[in-house]
A and B are shown apart, each in its own frame.
Chain A
Amino acid sequence: MKTLLSWLLWLWIGLVIVAGYALVPPLAGFVGGGESSRILFFHVPMAWTSFVAFLAAGIWSALYLGRKTRQRRHDLAAAAAVEIGLVFCLLATLSGAWWAWVEWGGARWELSAFWNWDPRQLSITAALIYYAAYLALRSQVADAEVRGRIAGAYAVLGLFVAPFLFFVAPRMATFSLHPEPVINPEGDVQMDPSVLWLLLAGSLGFTVLFFWLHNLATRLAILEDRNEVEA
């Protein structure tokens, strides 16, 4: 059953990739006759999945902090979610920088062509640093109980800080390269329905992929933890 589900997941993601190239028309207003817009179907789901991962890490941490639900596996699950979320976050940052290089940097071989001072580039980098700091904190506390409490509090604090980084701070900026049709103050979606459906399908696929990876990582962490306690 589990193997079947994982094959279904791979099939789903494969179909999203194929559809991203074959099904959706190139979007107007992008470089290369709109062909460069196809990175959208990977960049947006990755950014979304990292957001889901950090949210999940906060929820597991809150479970660990709760007196009645304090179990080691919640703390290990939160750490695993941050580790995998950081990979997605890094990939979203890199794919975004690559896209910016093609789209606005004129594909020039200069560092400034990758960095466009977009508020969202800043906020995702701050999120990267935040959760890298979470892992640094974990590595610096020897006792597992103390580590779970302190790192857990830091991950829950992230739930308070992240909305400001992702939603409030970018609004203060006077310009953004991120298209208004997708991210606008009114919250309307103003784009081609096929693009929207594919984005949703991609996000769903990547989210399931995250939880699958997370399940493996948490089980591994629990086994390692048990090994350490016994040794």
Chain B
Amino acid sequence: MSGRASSWASEAAAVFVKDWRCELRTRYALNTLGLFALTTLIVVSFVLGPVGAVPELAVTVLPVVLWLIVLFAVTAGLPRVFVAEEETHTATALRLAATPSALFCGKLLYGLTVVVALEALITPLFAVLVKMPVARPGLLAAALLAGGYSLAAGSTLVAAMVAQARTKSALFAVLLLPVLVPGLLFAVQLTRIAVSGEVPGQELRMLLLYDGTLTVAGFMLFPFVWNP
């Protein structure tokens, strides 16, 4: 039993390592997600200026803008995790080599690390460029981590779906956004609390609950999406 569990874990780890090796060679995620987010960030900073100096605007506007930047960067870059496998015809080999759930786990971890790296790059810059005050840095980090997880979990499953459809990137955004609506609502509210310094309520628990739900749904449904 332990042997089977360790081979499952090593399969998941192999997928994760393979995806990061591809990424380091092609720098695809860096070029799409990273540059997309940076460009948007610069435009936002040009248009809004140091808007965070006005406390009301900082609380109502900035958390939404931050999450929109992350969301659109994710929709631009993350379908690649499965689309590339179909385009380079490596999907069949992957189907033979890895257990679907281990594959999903590896891809999910890759997506999560990409999203978290993106957030770690973007958020400090964002905070400086629009003068976003952060009353509770720990809560902000929790919001970014838990919200980023729901983005990664949702987009990994949806990317596997669109990889087998005719149009890919346009369909990816259409399918992904309604899946992410609840998670984004909680993440924005949590970020809002982190900015304003209010006492947090149920938001973090709700966001974690949604993360858990997406994880269960992903592990349950992915084998059906993946295996012919």
Interface residues of A in 101-159 (CB under 8 A from B): 126-127, 129-130, 133, 136-137, 140-142, 145-146, 149-150, 152-154, 156-157
Is B164 located at the chain interface by the 8 A CB criterion?
Answer: yes
Cα distance A55–B110 when bound, in Å?
32
Cross-chain pair count, CB within 8 angstroms = 80
Count residues of B near A (Cβ-Cβ below 8 Å): 32
- Most B CB within 10 A of own CB, among A136, A140, A152, A154: A140
A172 in contact with B202 given A141-B165, A157-B157, A164-B213 (CB within 8 Å): yes
Main DSSP-derived SS at the B contact region: helix
Residues of B within 8 A of A149 (CB): 224-225, 228
Cα distance A141–B166 when bound, in Å?
6
Residues of B within 8 A of A161 (CB): 178-179, 181-182, 213
Is B186 located at the chain interface by the 8 A CB criterion?
Answer: yes
Cα distance A161–B222 when bound, in Å?
16
Interface pair A150/B213, CB less than 8 Å apart: no
Cα distance A126–B178 when bound, in Å?
6
Nearest-neighbour CB distance to chain A for B158, whole angstroms, equals 8
Cα distance A141–B175 when bound, in Å?
14
Cα distance A130–B177 when bound, in Å?
8
Q: Could you list 13 A-B pairs, sorted by A, with CB under 8 Å? A: A133-B174, A133-B175, A136-B174, A137-B165, A140-B165, A141-B165, A146-B164, A150-B161, A154-B161, A156-B220, A160-B213, A164-B210, A165-B182
Interface residues of A (CB under 8 A from B): 65, 126-127, 129-130, 133, 136-137, 140-142, 145-146, 149-150, 152-154, 156-157, 160-161, 164-165, 168-169, 172
